[in-house]
Chain A
């Protein structure tokens, strides 16, 4: 992974490593400078009781020079690391989202939304998070090497103290990170638990309120909250234990240096400057070594993130396209021949579906829940390909069509309307070239012109992320207008008006029917998944789908006569209402009699 990072951004990496080494060298130089100037500049001056301009100038230029070079090192290191980290993040986010757009819908169905979002965001971030302190880590290693050389140059005995203390600090650090990691992971997990209960409880607020369960819900929330509290305390206890150790070791080291140093000075093996230099080095190096520990602590998290990102990037699949074009401008002819399809092996959702819809016809697909109706709409729009058989439009297999060709002719409106974080206009045109008049026309048929006009900025109103500022019914009407503005040659509605009031739905269906007919004698073939009798009434013919097959195909009247299961299904739906109306009418008759 680190190799990949260096491979992708070699220039920036080299630069930031150079800067980090400069930083490391200058930090050590700070210690050396103090020792050297103690012996060569300060002590002589003190002893002579006099100083020269040269001495002063040397002191200023030495320490300022080191500080400036160090600052350059710090800025270069941080900037380089930042540039590299954010570039890598951007590159991998682009790659991951390209995969999302390329991989087939089946792949999307196999992965949860939450996971895909975190792959593109949190996982990419944690993968390259390790990059930020990487140059620092390399700088620290360089620093340790320089420091060791400097210490040995000063005095072997003092250096040996250093050789004892530095590894100790390092080992304490590694132990600390190892110990802390599971505690931190647990706290992270508990944060998710707390959030889950809060989400669920607030989402179900109406139920909680109306049944008076607020106190019980609070108790339910208390459990993960207390667990998180205790986990956080455990993390802090670990930190509280190790921090003073890691902090105190270099300090004890300084004291040891002083002790050994005095002995060495007495025996003439070293002078005061050497002692000061090594002691000062200890002070300077303590913090960077801890930073190195942070990098090591991040590594496991990084590796997990990298694995998860790789799983997306290496996923195989994608849709192959042919060369064929659709040239007709009239309503489309749809053929489904021997289509078999299933999401899981050996469990067919559709098995041997055969039918043809002639241009300009309006067809209702009726069937019980789980009959495969929605699956069929995804096959017709080539969101998935059949395992067997073929779907043909104007006689051409969908798989032979050129890329984007199908979208020019076929529009699908799904049950849950997805809106983009864009204006109303943007959500309807989707970047296509449509005039405002076209957009208003489409909205009028979708019964959405009224509420859009009432919005502050009309078509330019921003709908917010996923259209949260609109109601479910309003979102569905926007989605419907999005399909209608394209004047599709085949329009597929998958219970696309489920969230609008029945009265409004009736107007939409009426508007749709007249629009379809007006358009130069039916320029659109309509296939509608129907759940209500009113919707079925829009259709010229009905397909009855059950157990993955077309069980019957004909007009509503024909099917009612021929197919018992169909009759039961549609009747069951209205039976209740009719019984009541009859009762009411009887009552009325009695009253009038």
Chain B
């Protein structure tokens, strides 16, 4: 299933850079806010960098070598103007940075929140626990990568390009011959840049993969400490770790060497350009086609030109991973939510006893086989229904269709005759509540957890809700009562107590149809009695459907639906089915065998 699910998440891998930019702007319009002013400021900022070479040229040609010896006042004035230029540049630089940061951070925050909201609508989230980690990184590290790139690389990239273009223009202005010499010296670098950058991003790709392997190996003696110890496989574990550490070191060093070489090539090109400019410049100077000041200014311009080239390779690699991250986040946002809320147009149903119909329902995961086939069943109001079957028989899928966590591939699920797809989420969630096997608790107080579905409920009403399920004594036994912290994932409570919280939570939500996925894990017998008593009270007066793992639940139900290989093979009360000699009889026998083995 997870492979099929994975293929459904739109990674947007095929989108080009421009398309990503377009999609990105659609999601975060803040990015483009006042772009012309930012652009203008950026231009001013880069323009200011040209001041120093010009000052050098002017000083040499007019200040020092001018007719009548060094001209102090001219140089003083010029230096003053240039100093103002430098300060203006600094101001423009500050404004550019801040504007870029404010726009990009606002845009990214918007994107992060949109992605977060959308992930909650993706069926993959509730269907495949393994993929949750990947979804978390879409709204965390992937966005952070883009943000960090925009902070460092993106800014540098912008400035670098401007600086190179400007330097080139000024060089041509001073001397087209020398400008050509400089460009010629950098041609080999430009030619190899693409290759080097590709090699670098490949090398760093390998490094990232090796980091992953190493982390996984290092986690073994930490997470699996008990197994490693009790099976005495310390040596084997250490060997695996050592190998992965060594692997990582090797690839990281190689990537580092590649970076070093790339950087040095930029320096070499600059050296070549310097030598070329001076040589050609001297020849031109002899012909009076260039002044000494111009020639020396060129040296400063070459430095201005070559600095960005040297960092460009690094920035390009960062840009690549930032764009990849951006595409992944946009991909999540672009993935259609299969289960869509009809919203305002949706039917708002009146509360009250509910009739559920499954009308010829088939269900298959995308590109998978049918997991439910021809399910046709009607559940009358106030009935207590148990759903039984072996693992993989389709009983959990049945519950997910009932609560509209998924939609049928064909056929329809109806509540009081209305297709569930046409009922607004708000109305549907009010009427139908599912108590999952593992009632997930948030790291907050007990009160906050039970009023999760309806935050407006008062403490007094909460106490009543505990009381109506017969849990007052349990609530009083807790040190801080309603304010007791439940810990991360509710780990301060036992598994049974977590189930109790889930039941109170459902009681507060007060649904017309209660769907219960019975827990399979063992619970301390004392708590188990409490859970069962609370369940009994919760179900009374309501229509309920329970995915049953225990015989007792099936026995207590008005009706049992027996699933086998995606079909309902038997239905009826326990008493009728138990001796019918079918699937239910088999299940029942195995239950009895366990219980009466003593």
Cross-chain pairs A/B with CB under 8 angstroms, 26 sampled: A42-B278, A46-B285, A50-B286, A51-B282, A74-B264, A83-B253, A87-B249, A90-B246, A199-B136, A204-B440, A205-B126, A210-B403, A211-B453, A229-B108, A241-B94, A248-B86, A255-B83, A272-B292, A368-B526, A403-B232, A407-B232, A411-B230, A468-B130, A533-B598, A570-B525, A584-B555
Instruction: Indicate if A347 sits at the interface (CB-CB under 8 A).
Output: no
Instruction: Indicate if B209 sits at the interface (CB-CB under 8 A).
Output: no
Instruction: Indicate if A232 sits at the interface (CB-CB under 8 A).
Output: yes
A420-B64 contact, Cβ under 8 Å, with A59-B278, A206-B440, A210-B403: no
Of A77, A233, A430, which one neighbours B102 at CB under 8 angstroms?
A233
CA–CA, A46 to B126, complex, Å? 79
In the complex, residue of chain B having the shortest beta-carbon distance to the beta carbon of A107: B225
Interface residues in A453-471 (C-beta closer than 8 Å to B): 464-466, 468-469
- Is the CB–CB distance between B271 and A265 below 8 Å? no
Q: How many residues of A contact B (CB 8 A)?
A: 174
Instruction: Indicate if A552 sits at the interface (CB-CB under 8 A).
Output: no
In the complex, residue of chain B having the shortest beta-carbon distance to the beta carbon of A111: B222
Q: In angstroms, how far is the closest chain A Cβ from the Cβ of B70?
A: 4
Residues of the B chain whose Cβ atoms lie less than 8 Å from the Cβ of A93? 214, 218, 241, 245
A499-B529 contact, Cβ under 8 Å, with A67-B268, A383-B229: no
A60-B279 contact, Cβ under 8 Å, with A74-B264, A501-B549: yes
- Is the CB–CB distance between A117 and B233 below 8 Å? no
Of B227, B502, B575, which one neighbours A588 at CB under 8 angstroms?
B575
Instruction: Indicate if A520 sits at the interface (CB-CB under 8 A).
Output: no
- Is the CB–CB distance between B79 and A243 below 8 Å? no
Q: In angstroms, how far is the closest chain A Cβ from the Cβ of B382?
A: 19
Residues of the A chain whose Cβ atoms lie less than 8 Å from the Cβ of B440? 203-204, 206-207
- Is the CB–CB distance between A97 and B79 below 8 Å? no
Can you name 20 extra interface pairs (CB under 8 A) apart from A66-B271, A90-B248, A245-B90? A42-B292, A45-B282, A46-B286, A63-B271, A70-B267, A71-B264, A74-B263, A117-B222, A195-B136, A195-B140, A217-B120, A239-B151, A258-B56, A259-B79, A261-B59, A276-B296, A421-B216, A464-B130, A502-B594, A534-B594
Residues of the B chain whose Cβ atoms lie less than 8 Å from the Cβ of A252? 83, 86
- A252-271 CB mask vs B (1 if < 8 Å, else 0) is 10111011011101100000
Instruction: Indicate if B374 sits at the interface (CB-CB under 8 A).
Output: no
A-B pairs with the 8 shortest C-beta distances? A67-B271, A240-B97, A212-B429, A82-B256, A236-B101, A537-B597, A407-B232, A244-B90
Interface residues in B104-160 (C-beta closer than 8 Å to A): 105-106, 108-109, 112-113, 116-117, 119-121, 125-126, 130, 132, 135-136, 139-141, 144, 147, 151
Q: In angstroms, how far is the closest chain A Cβ from the Cβ of B168?
A: 18
CA–CA, A383 to B574, complex, Å? 48
Residues of the B chain whose Cβ atoms lie less than 8 Å from the Cβ of A266? 69-70, 72
In the complex, residue of chain A having the shortest beta-carbon distance to the beta carbon of B257: A79
In the complex, residue of chain B having the shortest beta-carbon distance to the beta carbon of A479: B227
- Is the CB–CB distance between A78 and B259 below 8 Å? yes
- Is the CB–CB distance between A41 and B120 below 8 Å? no
CA–CA, A263 to B64, complex, Å? 10
CA–CA, A466 to B219, complex, Å? 9
CA–CA, A509 to B433, complex, Å? 36
- Is the CB–CB distance between A584 and B509 below 8 Å? no
Instruction: Indicate if A144 sits at the interface (CB-CB under 8 A).
Output: no
A430-B225 contact, Cβ under 8 Å, with A226-B109, A580-B556: no
- Is the CB–CB distance between B238 and A262 below 8 Å? no
Interface residues in B490-519 (C-beta closer than 8 Å to A): 494, 502, 505, 509
Which among B100, B524, B575 has the highest number of chain A CB atoms within 10 Å?
A: B524
Residues of the B chain whose Cβ atoms lie less than 8 Å from the Cβ of A505? 594
In the complex, residue of chain B having the shortest beta-carbon distance to the beta carbon of A574: B595
CA–CA, A527 to B86, complex, Å? 81
Instruction: Indicate if B234 sits at the interface (CB-CB under 8 A).
Output: yes
Instruction: Indicate if A431 sits at the interface (CB-CB under 8 A).
Output: yes
Stretch of B15-23, B169-177, B299-307, B457-465 at the chain-chain interface: B299-307
Instruction: Indicate if B368 sits at the interface (CB-CB under 8 A).
Output: no
Stretch of B348-356, B468-476, B585-593 at the chain-chain interface: B585-593
A240-B94 contact, Cβ under 8 Å, with A46-B286, A209-B405, A252-B86: yes
Of A67, A272, A482, A576, which one neighbours B60 at CB under 8 angstroms?
A272
CA–CA, A55 to B281, complex, Å? 12
Instruction: Indicate if B226 sits at the interface (CB-CB under 8 A).
Output: yes
- Is the CB–CB distance between A272 and B229 below 8 Å? no
- Is the CB–CB distance between B97 and A117 below 8 Å? no
Instruction: Indicate if A301 sits at the interface (CB-CB under 8 A).
Output: no
- Is the CB–CB distance between A258 and B264 below 8 Å? no
In the complex, residue of chain A having the shortest beta-carbon distance to the beta carbon of B586: A503
Of A70, A232, A369, A536, which one neighbours B105 at CB under 8 angstroms?
A232
Residues of the A chain whose Cβ atoms lie less than 8 Å from the Cβ of B95? 240
Interface residues in B428-443 (C-beta closer than 8 Å to A): 428-430, 433-434, 436, 439-443
A243-B86 contact, Cβ under 8 Å, with A70-B267, A87-B249, A97-B241: no
In the complex, residue of chain A having the shortest beta-carbon distance to the beta carbon of B591: A502
Residues of the B chain whose Cβ atoms lie less than 8 Å from the Cβ of A41? 282
CA–CA, A467 to B549, complex, Å? 25
Stretch of A279-287, A332-340, A391-399, A437-445 at the chain-chain interface: A279-287
CA–CA, A331 to B153, complex, Å? 67
- Is the CB–CB distance between B271 and A209 below 8 Å? no
Interface residues in A274-297 (C-beta closer than 8 Å to B): 275-276, 279-280, 283-284, 287
Q: In angstroms, how far is the closest chain A Cβ from the Cβ of B61?
A: 11
